[in-house]
Structure 1
């Protein structure tokens, strides 16, 4: 249990530092307007913490998938890249075909991106989202389900030493 808490803590500290640097660079170098109210920043913090916890637990659960440390990158990176492209991280989510949006909405990354858009985009952009609104309860529900699924997956798959040698 200590390992998991430490791993999530490490990932959380790294994520907070990366987010702070990206937000500072966006504001200073590119003049990106930042949220001005505490509610938006609270939403940002909540989505960030939920996202880090969910993704860290899923990462530990998926650690049984690669056969070795050398193959981990080749196995995991394609999954992550595909999810990023279909989840509205690189491409405007509303421009994706509806069937691809439905597939992306099964996974937590699309919902985390939705939560971040709710924080950093003006309210007028909510019309581009499915349902025409910022669905923050949906973000919490889907990520919560994936967090629980990740905990179960981690419990079932995680081994300190591989059984297959």
Structure 2
């Protein structure tokens, strides 16, 4: 069973997402702030907990302690392309702000709250995960230089 994590300080959103995970048959871990998430991730990378590496992380941009993009960047630094990261926010951002946040967080996507309906949300998240897995499995072949520059 895949594991998805949620880092969300709004308890009603947090509970709603975890309820969807349960309906979908997905193991979920939820954290109400960045410090909890980072502590768990450190334990996971140090193998102090037996949980599986999460397949997906839904991370709120504005948390009370650690900014969501910082948590996302730590996830990417620890697990590279093996995790799909989706940022969430209820705040309006300009296209430039969206791009800056996605790039600094090394995230795969940004979703605005309120989140889509359950079936749509599942389809969107599955598409983002599939895209990340495809990117993670691709490799580049650099052609050899031909002798004598020809």
TM-score (normalizing by structure 2):
0.32
Bigger fraction of residues in helix: 1
Q: Which has the higher contact order (CA 8 A, sep 6+)?
A: 1
- TM-score, normalisation: structure 1: 0.30
More strand by share: 2
